[in-house]
Amino acid sequence: MAAANPENTGDAETGETGGDRLAGHADNAGNIIRVGSRASDLALRQTEQVLEKLRPRYPQLDFQVITVTTQGDANAAAPLAGMGLGVFVKEIEQQLLSGQLDLAVHSLKDLPTVLPEGLALAALLPRADPRDVLVNRWGCSLERLPAGARIGTSSPRRQAQLLHCRPDLVVTPIRGSVPTRLRKADGEECDGAVLAAAGLIRLGLTDCITEYLSPQQFVPPPGQGILAVETRAGDDRMLGLLRAVDHAPTRYAATAERAFLERLGGGCQVPVGAYAQSDGELMLLTVFLGTPDGQQTFQAKVRGLTHDPHQLAADAHLALVERGGGGLLEGMA
């Protein structure tokens, strides 16, 4: 899985890197770096967070943000379930491959596990809060929501975990930007919603959070909270520049999570969760698999070496099968 190669790492907090040594070369080759981003407030804020890491290192370079409308953005009312994988990244990746962009910033959870040929994940920034959060018009916890409360989400994983915990709830499809979903969740279309903590934190909207959901109970999707920078696999200049901000611990965790998802052969339309936490040389990988109605759920936790994330993913897959998830996996094939 070339898209997540833990050997291609660096640490933004350490000394000189290949990126530092290539800075002068990049300046000679042209000082404009074209950065692709979706146009939402959250996407632009995430892109700015990446550039806040790059600009001080390369003050001679002019990082210019170019917004791209993706299929997912253009069809904001359409159900995500019928749109396939990569709906928030395909158009950006096409512009990378054509040379219109030099690099692009994504939420890692939006990227399929297999990237288009010719592209690579050049940097993963340190992970933000990976948890899901509940917002609702009563300001109460999930446990105290009234029976029949309408909770918005278009994520099969969130739906499965919600209904597993509270089968009396009504899960309502909800789409749009973070502010749009918050408005809809305040009684306009539903009574509440489940969103990613990282997005609300980045936008300064944490006051509306009524509960942070435990990642052990609400296992996040692979890559949640991680910002990814994608570029062309053969662009040594960009790869060198970005190596300086790649965070090795985050890359190992993301590699384990995405390798697990790849083993399932599933994507964002399958109720799947994977969350890796490293503690030095050891890593704990928690995985989840379920049906959208929440009636069948399987969870497993495995430990292994941080530097061997693919083996950890294989162990997690086997553990899910041994816990009875094999039949559900066969049904997904």
Rg (the chain; Cα; Å):
20
Catalytic residue selected from 102, 110, 129, 132: 110
| Secondary structure (DSSP) of 7-31 | TS---TTSS--HHHHHHHHHHHH-S
What is the distance between the alpha carbons of residues 2 and 218, in angstroms, rounded to a whole number? 29
102 assigned to active site: no
Q: Does residue 228 contact residue 124 with C-beta atoms inside 8 Å?
A: yes
User: How many Cβ atoms are within 10 Å of 281's Cβ, its own excluded?
Assistant: 9
Place of tokens 């996407």: 43
Strand 132-136 versus strand 192-196 pairing type: antiparallel
- Beta carbons of 51 and 63 less than 8 angstroms apart: yes
Helix, strand, coil percent content, the chain, rounded in steps of 5: 40, 20, 40
Q: Are 131 and 206 in contact (CB under 8 A)?
A: no
Q: Which of 113, 133, 129 is nearest to 121 (CA)?
A: 113
Tell me which residue of 111, 109, 102, 106 sits closest to 131, measured CA to CA: 109
Are the C-beta atoms of 132 and 252 separated by less than 8 Å? no
Residue 210 exposure: Cα atoms within 13 Å on the Cβ side: 19
- At 285, which helix (H) or strand (E)? strand 282-290
**Residue positions annotated with a catalytic role:** 110
